[in-house]
Every structure is written in C-alpha cells, then in structure tokens.
A and B are shown apart, each in its own frame.
Chain A
Amino acid sequence: MRRRRSVVCVLSAPVILFLAHPAAAQGVRGWASTQVRFLEMQPLQLDTALAGDVVYDADGSARVDGQLIWCTQTPCTYYRPVAAKDAVVATQDIGLTAWGLGVTGLSVTVLMRGRDQVSGDLNWPVVSDPFDLMVGYAELRRGGVRLRAGRQETPTGLGFRAFDGGSARYDWRNLWIEGFGGRSLARGLSEPSRDALRGIEDFVRDKDAHLFGGAAGYRWGVSGIGVRYQREIWADRAGILSERASADVHTVLPFAIRFRSSVDYDVALDRVGKANVTLQRGFFGGRLMAELEARRYVPYFDLSTIWGFFSPVPFHEAGARLNLGLSRGTGLRLGFAAREYDDPNAVTVFRPLRNRGYRAEAKAMWSPARWVQLDAGYDLDWAAHSFLHSFDGSVATQWHQEIRTRVFGTSFQQFEAFRLGDGRAYGGGIGLEWTMTDRIRLDGMMSVIRQSAGRDGPNDAWNQTRASFGLRYEFGEDPGLRRRRR
C-alpha cells in the first residue's frame, strides 16, 4: 500500500506542477522528469562442480558445461548464471529555481528526486530510499556578494561534494573568493554517511561529519585559475576524514594552444592525488582539432575507511586525440593513450601482473543528408585488470523536426578483473525522442544484449534487456529557451 502511494505521488508530481502557476511578481523556472525503466539481467552464483562433471582438455584445462573453470582445490568452483532478475523502477525528478520573493537578489533552487521500484526482484541501487532532496538552498545576491544556505552540491577540482550548510562568495573585479561549511553528505548520495551507509558498510560511526573550506580564483581574458581547500572532520572532533586541496588553471598559450591543467593534493596524508595537463590546438579553421593529454590518477579514499591507509599507487597516462570535422555531422575521431602504474611495492608470486595499459578509440561519423546521421566506432581497453574491445554503430534519423529515432548495435568482448573466460556479446536497440512542444519531450529506448555461444565464459552471463521511458516537462519562465526552440 505504501509503495502504491509513493508511485502515485511520484507520477502525479508533473501534473501538479503543470497546474501550478507562480504568484504575481514572482518568477519560477524548472523542469520535471519522469523516468520509468526496466532492466533484466542475468545474475551469477558461485557453485561447485562435481568431479564427474569436470572435463579436462588436452592442454589440461578444466571445463564444466563448456565453461572454463579452475580447479586448484576440491571441489572445483565456478560462477554460473542463474534465473534472470528484472526490475521496473520509476524515478521522478523536479528541479526549479524561484525568484522575485520580495527581497532583491533572493532566489531558491531545489532539486528533488522520488523513486520507487514498481515491480521485479532485482534490487535497483539506492531504490530503497524513496525520496532525496539533492539540492535545496536559498541564495542571496547583492552586488558581488553571493550567500547560500541549505543543501548544496558543488562541482570542484576535488569532485562533487554535497553538504548542508552555508557558503559565501565575493566577486571583486577579476578575483573571487568563497568560503563554505556545513554538515557533510556521503559522496554520490544525498544523505550523511551515518544514515546512508549504516548496515551496508563497516565501521560507520554514528556521528555527523562537518565539511568546510575555502576557494579562490582569478580570471583574465579567457584564462582562469582556481584553488580550493576543504577539510572534513567528525562532529565530535575525533579525527579528520579528509583534508584536500586542488588547483585548476586554463589559459591560451602562444600559437592558439589551449592549456588546461588540474591537480589535487591529499593534505592529510601528504601525497599528490590526481593531475591532468591538456594541450589543445585547432587547425584549418578548427576542422582538425588535436589534443595531447597527460594525466595521473590515483583513487581517493577518505580516512573513514581502512582503504585510505592502503597506499594505492597511481598510474600515469599519456594520450593524443584527433578530431577531423569534414562537414556538419561528418568526421573522424581517433584517440590513443598508454598508461603505466607506479611500482606497487608488493610481492607477487609466479608471473608478475601487467604494469601497463592501453586504450584506443576510433569513431567515424557520416551525415549524407541533414536528416540522417550514421556513426560507427571501435574502442579498445587493454590493461591488467580488464580487457575490452567493442564495436558500436548507430543510425539516427530525424523523421520530422520533432521526432528522432535511433537504431544502434553493439558487439563486444571482455575479460573482467582477473576472471577466467571471456564474454562475447552482441545486441542492439532502438531509441525514440519526440519533442511534443517546446516544453514537453518524450523519449523511449529498448535494447537487448545477448551473449554469443560462449567459448570459455559462462553461458548467458551477459544477457540483458533494458527499456526506458521518459517524460520531461519544463515549466515557468525561460525566454531564452522559448526563442531557441522556435
């Protein structure tokens, strides 16, 4: 009964918004998005194989039902596909900004999400939480001052972080400075860790954490630099969860080379985190765009888990990408990158693990007419932890100014993290977008992926059927959007 009520609430929200009108002298702009998704997947289950069922090849490898297994102990164990699980999930998002609230410069921004699993036995991630206020703050702008209070989510050089609290920002000519602080929320979630992770993560303290810090930046011409420092501590000051800083800069160098760079630093453990340098240059009036990138990546774990002290090692990657635009919708894109991990300072027995990885991409786009677009691409990712190569293609057709369809196909092969056997899959699907009015858009998609007759991997492990239906409705004032859509 509770589920049915929440479904009704979720799905009726757009109707309520459609009927709502802003009060006089007020302004509101927003959108509501309803998504209903279906997913059927093939779970795996660890099983044992009877000695009598194991067949040994001439080279000594063991198989059960054609699937390669490793028999280092008795009984042999392997993962086998079991009955498919499915789920139908509905999510309702509403985002809005309202202003004209009687105080000059005052506005309110809200983003909320309701979700419910309508049916099925596959547990959709986070669906047990029926409602999230993802963003909800009041903002006051006066001259160069901006004050915010409420739930905020900030995209920064340290990634996305959300908190309940306040922030103050001041812009003075080309300089800006910001300070913020409040109750910290778990990354990727809109709740404090104590609530969101209790029961599913070890060592979750029944305490809030506080996040605070500051940021500053300077911009000149098309260039800008920003630095940020933030610290997260337990509310009872029992310890620091994270203490980090970041710097980001972008500018244009001589010869019209765009330069972008970012780096973050773990102050708590005194080590450099991620870093990135990108050089980009256009040739032939921008038809040919070349990009060189060097980056360093190391995963970050805060100090609330033991993994923060496990000394993960970074990899360094260098890559180049080229994009050739021949005409509208027609072009070619090529990319290649190679990465190498730092010395893990760990002992391995037998043969060493691969220390390098490569990835490559090639994509061709062709638009023989304005109403049709063909894409084909190949991706390769080859590293110690996984291997993937895939072909993708699609034909997008604009049947009418408001209606677009897309037919796509895929084929891929992959090895997962140090797992025996490969998976080869192929599939395809169809998508539809219908812009009904300048404010209402419908979309739908259905795709089916099937594993081909597996050579070494488990049969049917990659089978998947996915479908989605979306309705997006924009409401309130938005003169710019109105003009764009004419």
Chain B
Amino acid sequence: MSRLWAGAAIVGAALAVAGVGGAVEAPPPGALQEVADSFPHREHQGLFPLCQGCHEGVAIGEEELRMPQPSLCAQCHDGVDRERVGWVLPAPVVGPLDFSHPDHAERVEQGGEAPVRCAQCHVNSSGPSMALVPLEAARCFDCHGTPPDAHYEQENQCAECHRPLAAVDDGDLRFGGYPKPDGHGGREFLLGVHGAEALESVNRCSTCHVEDQCAGCHVDAGRSPIPQVPRAPADWSVPWIEAEYPKPDSHHSEDFTLSHGRPAPDAPECSTCHTQDDCAACHISPLPRPAEALQERPQVRAPGVGLEDRLPRSHDTPFFLTTHPVLAAAGPEGCASCHTDTYCAECHDSPRSPGYHPPSFGLRHSAAVGTQALECSNCHNRVAFCRECHADLGLEANGRLGAGYHDAEPVWLLRHAVAARQGLEQCTSCHTQSDCLQCHSAVLGAFKVSPHGPDFDPERARAKNPLICRACHLGGNP
C-alpha cells in the first residue's frame, strides 16, 4: 500500500513539476489547485488532526520544530507494525516571502481580528481537509483586500512582505517567473521614474533585482543607492537587463554642447551613463573638472553610452571656416575644451600647413591679399615672409623712381597714392620704409610729400609714439 502511495506521489509530483497539471481538469475560477503533496497529510489526519501536532514550531517561531522529527515517524513506522520510511528533515528553503507566522498572528490579534487558521492559507477551503494548495499571493489578498492585479503595482512596498531576490534560494530561477510590473520599461521609466523610486526605497527594487542588473546599465554602480541592492550569488545566471540609454530631453537643447558642463560640476547625473572616455572623445586632457568625477572605463561593467566625437552644431555649417574666428574670440573657452593652442597653429602658422592653401595658391595669391578674406598677417609676417620671398624671386623694390614692376600704369609715381591708401599691405610686401621716405620724408624726401590723410591727428600720434615721427621729420633712424 505504501509503495503504491509512494509511486503515485512521485508520478503526481513529476506531473506537477513538468507542468502537465493541465491534464487534470482545471479548477474552477478562484479555486486553488491541490498540490502534489510530498507527505500524505490526508492519510495522517486521523493521527494528527491539528497542524501543530507536527508543525508546532511554526506558531512559536522555532525553526527546529517547524517540521516533525524523523523520530516521530519512527514511532509508528518502526519496521514492525509499519514499514520504515526514509523521512529526513528537509533543508530549510529561503523563499521570497519574508514572513513570520508569530508576527503575523500578533499583528492580526492587535488588529482585533480573529486568529488566522493554518488552513486559511495552506488548504483549499472548498476541498477536503488537509489537501494542501500552493502558497500564492492571492491568499494574502483574500484577507488583505488587495486585488491580485495590484500586487505588482509600482508603488507597492514589496519589502514589507518580500526579502531581496539575492537572499532567496534559487532566486535566479524564480526571477523569470515574476511578471513585469506595469510601468516598468519605456523611456520615462528609465530616465526618471525608476531612479526616483530607487532613491526613495531601494528595497523595492531588491525584491526582484540584484545589484548586478543595475550595474549592467549604470556605469557608476558604486554610487548610492545601487550598492544597497544585494549582489547575486556567484552561481546564479540571472537574465541580465540589456543596457539601454535613452537620450534625456536636456541633451536635445541647441546649446547642450556648450552648456553641458556647467550645471554638473561634480557630474552626478552624467555619471549614470557616461565614463571619462566619453568626455575624452571630445575634451582634451587634462579633462575638465566634472569629467574627473566620472568613472574610468576599465572600472566599469556596463557598456555606457560610448560617445564619439562629433562636430558641434556651430561647426556644422559650410561656412564655418570663415565664421569661426568670431566664435573663438567671443568664447575662447569653447574652443579650448576640445582644441589645444597647437591645433590652431596647424593652420594658422605658415609654412607648416602646405594643405591650407590650394597647391597653386602661391602663384595667384595676390588677389587674395587684396581681398583679405583670410587676413594674411595673422600667419605671415609681412617683412620676414612676404618681402623676403618676393625679394628672392626678383620682386624686391629697389627704391627706383623710374619704371619698374608697376609698368601697366603710366606715370605710376604720380598715381600710386590712391593704390597705396587702398592696398598698403600689398605695397609693404615688396617696399621698405626707406623706399617711401625717398619722397615722403619731411627732411630728406625728394618731394616732401605728406603721406598723412585728412583724418590724421599729429598730436595724438606724437603723444602715442614720438619715436617714429622722427623717421620723417628729423631724418634717420628713430
């Protein structure tokens, strides 16, 4: 008989575990299905009509007395009157409920309600006695008046009943069975809701999550409150959350590139998704102070956002080359966060950059000098660069008053004043001051022609630099 019962129990348990319980007629709605009991409670109900007969430790909170001792079984199953049974005390299983029967009973008593009987939770009230049913949250709701659908609502304080997932036996296997609460996931949840709620009560997150999952996205997993979420045991294989980094609204603003360093001097918000590597994608070392507060890449388990350097919007126009000087002059700190001074010099300092001007520019640069769209003297010293090169190519002015280079204009000497006032830079790329003084010196000049325009203020000029006045008005080197 016992063998028959044992065989049936094994088959029933196997069916239940394999999930083929569906083959049995489904229970009516609201009813609880009887579980395959590892112990034939119903056959023993005559001997032990009260649960406390075997489970006396439950009510008083004594773990050792929670289950009957094998010696109790052996009193009948002594191998003489009854076949011996191999009952051993099961190892205590730590489940997700952080539940104490005595505490619960005390609270019920304090609430002035009738004591809760074991059968109310462990037995199907509509079935035969001692026909055990699985423990489900619905049984709690029966008394507590909470609709089952609300069990997983985000605002619930899970930790009131549940212990952290990491502390639950086989928690990694259980995790997959937990339904996703409403509101979990999505951009808003990721960007704001879950963080705020975690700060409010991180225990709520710990019910279903382990720290490792937080660290799968958060590059600053060492920052509060994440370390308060217990880590998973080493042998667990919790399904990790795939890292997702939705772009916050603030990042879409047009001035974000310029302003992102200002509100976060210690970078508390940036550090959720960004490492120092992200800053270094654009910023040059030594990194700005907010960046120093971020994690370094090797210390981080999460993938992080992984920024690549991109041109700021201000750079992304076809005319940036000609308009960038204003940006640089009005806000040099903007340039300096990504460029060193040496970067500017790569273009702005001849003759380092043969690629700056087109290959044939050397032959046809005279028009560009007249236009001055690139302001030649920023890079080229008029004397040491322009005049030296011109001289070497035979274009050195020798102070002649006769016909020379400007042979397209008749009587050039009498006509050059307008050209000189309009394009004095070009004149000085070949002519020396001495050339001009041959005529314009007030002392030694051949014609003593004044080079000053009508708006020239001699007193002001003399007050600023009297030395150079001597070149014309006293003669000789000032």
Chain B residues with CB under 8 Å of A157's CB are 325-326, 329-330
- Give Cα A45 to B280, complex, Å: 55
Asked if B254 CB lies within 8 Å of chain A CBs, one says yes
Chain A residues with CB under 8 Å of B407's CB are 69-70, 77-79, 419-420
- Give B470's nearest chain A residue, CB to CB: A203
Chain B residues with CB under 8 Å of A378's CB are none
Q: Beyond A27-B285, A353-B418, is A226–B341 a contact (Cβ under 8 Å)?
A: no
Stretch at the interface among B103-111, B201-209, B359-367: B359-367
Check A315–B422 contact: CB distance below 8 A: yes
Check B330–A217 contact: CB distance below 8 A: yes
Task: Tell me the minimal C-beta distance from B384 to chain A in angstroms.
Answer: 6
- Give Cα A262 to B456, complex, Å: 24
Chain B residues with CB under 8 Å of A210's CB are none
Chain A residues with CB under 8 Å of B408's CB are 70, 415, 418-421
Q: Beyond A153-B344, A313-B421, A449-B360, is A483–B277 a contact (Cβ under 8 Å)?
A: yes
Chain B residues with CB under 8 Å of A234's CB are 467
Chain A residues with CB under 8 Å of B370's CB are 357, 381, 383, 385-386
Task: Tell me the minimal C-beta distance from B316 to chain A in angstroms.
Answer: 8
Stretch at the interface among A7-15, A35-43, A366-374, A395-403: A35-43
Chain A residues with CB under 8 Å of B388's CB are 123, 125-126, 200
Q: Beyond A85-B392, A203-B471, A418-B408, is A222–B344 a contact (Cβ under 8 Å)?
A: no
**Interface 1/0s, chain B 394-422, versus A by CB < 8 A?**
11001000111111111110110111111
Check A43–B392 contact: CB distance below 8 A: yes
Asked if A297 CB lies within 8 Å of chain B CBs, one says yes
> Chain B CB within 10 Å — which of A44, A186, A219 has the most?
A219
Chain B residues with CB under 8 Å of A73's CB are 402-403
Instruction: Give the residue of A107, A124, A345 whose beta carbon is less than 8 angstroms from that of B453.
Output: A345
- Give Cα A426 to B352, complex, Å: 26
Asked if A25 CB lies within 8 Å of chain B CBs, one says no
Instruction: Give the residue of A125, A226, A346, A447 whose beta carbon is less than 8 angstroms from that of B332.
Output: A226
Check B341–A93 contact: CB distance below 8 A: no
Task: Tell me the minimal C-beta distance from B249 to chain A in angstroms.
Answer: 16
Asked if A6 CB lies within 8 Å of chain B CBs, one says no
Check B417–A306 contact: CB distance below 8 A: no
Instruction: List CB contacts (< 8 Å) of A270-328 with chain B.
Output: 270-271, 274, 276, 278, 280, 282, 289, 291, 297, 299-301, 303-313, 315, 321, 323, 325
Instruction: Give the residue of A258, A311, A323, A462 whose beta carbon is less than 8 angstroms from that of B452.
Output: A311
Q: Beyond A109-B341, A202-B433, A344-B418, is A321–B319 a contact (Cβ under 8 Å)?
A: yes
Instruction: Give the residue of A105, A241, A291, A305 whose beta carbon is less than 8 angstroms from that of B433.
Output: A305
- Give B370's nearest chain A residue, CB to CB: A385
Chain B residues with CB under 8 Å of A333's CB are 318
Task: Tell me the minimal C-beta distance from B144 to chain A in angstroms.
Answer: 54
Asked if B238 CB lies within 8 Å of chain A CBs, one says no
Chain B residues with CB under 8 Å of A350's CB are 410-411, 415
Task: Tell me the minimal C-beta distance from B82 to chain A in angstroms.
Answer: 75
- Give A87's nearest chain B residue, CB to CB: B392
Check A416–B284 contact: CB distance below 8 A: no
Check B424–A310 contact: CB distance below 8 A: yes
- Give B412's nearest chain A residue, CB to CB: A418
Check B421–A203 contact: CB distance below 8 A: no
Check B308–A483 contact: CB distance below 8 A: yes
**Interface 1/0s, chain A 79-109, versus B by CB < 8 A?**
1001001000001010111011000010101
- Give Cα A479 to B294, complex, Å: 15
Task: Tell me the minimal C-beta distance from A201 to chain B in angstroms.
Answer: 5
Check B258–A222 contact: CB distance below 8 A: yes
Task: Tell me the minimal C-beta distance from A252 to chain B in angstroms.
Answer: 8
Asked if B477 CB lies within 8 Å of chain A CBs, one says yes
Q: Beyond A196-B381, A417-B426, is A323–B319 a contact (Cβ under 8 Å)?
A: yes
- Give Cα A148 to B114, complex, Å: 81
Task: Tell me the minimal C-beta distance from A463 to chain B in angstroms.
Answer: 9
Asked if A268 CB lies within 8 Å of chain B CBs, one says yes
Asked if B199 CB lies within 8 Å of chain A CBs, one says no
What's the tally of chain B residues with a CB closer than 8 Å to chain A? 129
Chain A residues with CB under 8 Å of B318's CB are 289, 323, 325, 333
Instruction: List CB contacts (< 8 Å) of B283-314 with chain A.
Output: 283-286, 289, 297, 306, 308-309, 313-314
Stretch at the interface among B47-55, B71-79, B150-158, B371-379: B371-379
- Give A260's nearest chain B residue, CB to CB: B326
Asked if B100 CB lies within 8 Å of chain A CBs, one says no
Q: Chain B at the A interface: mostly helix, strand, loop or mixed?
A: helix
Instruction: List CB contacts (< 8 Å) of B17-75 with chain A.
Output: none
- Give Cα A43 to B396, complex, Å: 11
Task: Tell me the minimal C-beta distance from A138 to chain B in angstroms.
Answer: 12
Stretch at the interface among B121-129, B160-168, B170-178, B457-465: B457-465
Instruction: List CB contacts (< 8 Å) of A412-437 with chain B.
Output: 412, 414-421, 425, 427, 429
Check A239–B468 contact: CB distance below 8 A: yes
What's the tally of chain A residues with a CB closer than 8 Å to chain B? 172
Check A111–B286 contact: CB distance below 8 A: no
Chain B residues with CB under 8 Å of A225's CB are 330
- Give B393's nearest chain A residue, CB to CB: A43
- Give B278's nearest chain A residue, CB to CB: A480
Task: Tell me the minimal C-beta distance from A179 to chain B in angstroms.
Answer: 14
Check B362–A271 contact: CB distance below 8 A: no
Asked if B348 CB lies within 8 Å of chain A CBs, one says yes
Instruction: Give the residue of B329, B423, B477 whose beta carbon is less than 8 angstroms from that of A155.
Output: B329
- Give Cα A143 to B317, complex, Å: 33
- Give Cα A377 to B57, complex, Å: 94
Asked if A60 CB lies within 8 Å of chain B CBs, one says no
- Give Cα A99 to B285, complex, Å: 8
> Chain A CB within 10 Å — which of B367, B381, B404, B425 has the most?
B367
Q: Beyond A349-B414, A419-B405, A480-B280, is A240–B366 a contact (Cβ under 8 Å)?
A: no
Instruction: Give the residue of B354, B379, B464 whose beta carbon is less than 8 angstroms from that of A445.
Output: B354
Instruction: Give the residue of B258, B309, B313, B360 whose beta carbon is less than 8 angstroms from that of A484.
Output: B309
Given A29-B284, A240-B464, A414-B366, 10 more A-B residue pairs with CB atoms under 8 Å apart are: A37-B351, A72-B411, A93-B352, A125-B385, A280-B317, A299-B377, A307-B424, A353-B418, A408-B359, A484-B281
Q: List 27 A-B contacts (CB under 8 A).
A: A46-B404, A72-B411, A99-B285, A105-B286, A153-B345, A155-B348, A156-B329, A189-B384, A197-B384, A200-B388, A219-B331, A222-B258, A261-B326, A262-B326, A306-B451, A311-B453, A323-B319, A344-B418, A344-B422, A348-B415, A349-B414, A384-B423, A385-B423, A419-B405, A447-B360, A480-B280, A483-B306
Which chain B residues have a beta carbon within 8 Å of chain A's beta carbons? 254-255, 258-259, 262, 277, 280-286, 289, 297, 306, 308-309, 313-314, 317-319, 323, 325-335, 340-342, 344-346, 348-352, 354-355, 358-360, 362-364, 366-372, 375, 377-389, 392-395, 398, 402-412, 414-415, 417-426, 428, 432-434, 436-437, 440, 451-457, 460-461, 464-469, 471-472, 477-478
Give 9 closest A-B pairs by Cβ, nearest first.
Answer: A311-B453, A239-B465, A188-B381, A346-B417, A95-B342, A344-B421, A480-B281, A224-B331, A157-B329
